[in-house]
Amino acid sequence: MHTTPEVDSAITVVGAVTRTATPPLDGLRVWLEGTAVSHFMNWSWWAWPTAESLHFVGLSTLFATVIVFDLRLLGMLPGVRPAHLERLIPWGVGGFVLSLSTGALFFTGIPGMYLANPAFWVKTLLLLAAGANLAVYQLWARPRVARLAAGEPMPMLARLCGLGSLAIWTGVLVAGRLIAFYKP
């Protein structure tokens, strides 16, 4: 394959970055780098920018849903019945799936950069924390919240879940943004 000096430099940089993965995960890195998806993400002129745009759309949709829902859990928007906000859940799930899918494309494109990146691991842990927070809400707070009428005060557990959710998702955003700035 004939390449330009710029592409040769990019290959060198990507190669240097990918060799920084920790040894236990090096096999995963090598395997992912050999996939057609990795090749596509690295060599297509439009794949990465399209995935970035879709990732942003997914994040925006997810966060719009999270913010409205969590603010209601915190007692704001008292005129809105919490049960009515449940109609937003499919939008939030759709945004999450879109963001997760495009994030998987980025990870597959340059796995070594992600595997050696502390911000990636912080984001991963925060995503797990978001799942745990959602489970607590769904199992213990939601049954009580669903019965509330407009204007009724939120149960303390629901408020804590809303506050935790806002904090965790803000952390996910910050950690995700820091991934691009930390080059191991």
Cβ count near 68 (within 10 Å): 16
CA distance linking residue 161 with residue 164, whole number of Å: 5
Share of the chain above pLDDT 90, in %: 79
Q: Per-residue pLDDT tens for 55-94?
A: 999 999 999 999 999 999 999 999 998 889 999 999 999 9
In a domain, 52, yes or no: yes
Q: Tell me what pLDDT residue 2 has.
A: 43
What is the extent of the structural domain holding 97? 5-179
Query: Domain total for the chain?
Result: 1
pTM of the model: 0.85
Cα→Cα distances 28→16, 33, 87, Å: 16, 9, 39
Which positions ≥6 away from 105 have C-beta within 8 Å?
Answer: 37, 41, 47, 51
Q: Is the pLDDT of residue 15 over 70?
A: no
Q: What is the pLDDT of residues 23-43, one digit of tens each?
A: 789 999 999 999 999 999 999
Residue 20: the pLDDT is 52
Task: Look at residue 175 and tell me if it is in a domain.
Answer: yes
Residue 154 has pLDDT above 80, yes or no: yes
Task: Place 99 in a pLDDT band, splitting at 50, 70 and 90.
Answer: very high
- As a whole number of Å, the CA-based R_g of the chain is 20
The burial of 137, by beta-carbon neighbours within 10 Å (0-12 exposed, 13-18 middle, 19 or more buried), is given as buried
pLDDT of residue 3: 42
Q: Is residue 184 part of a domain?
A: no
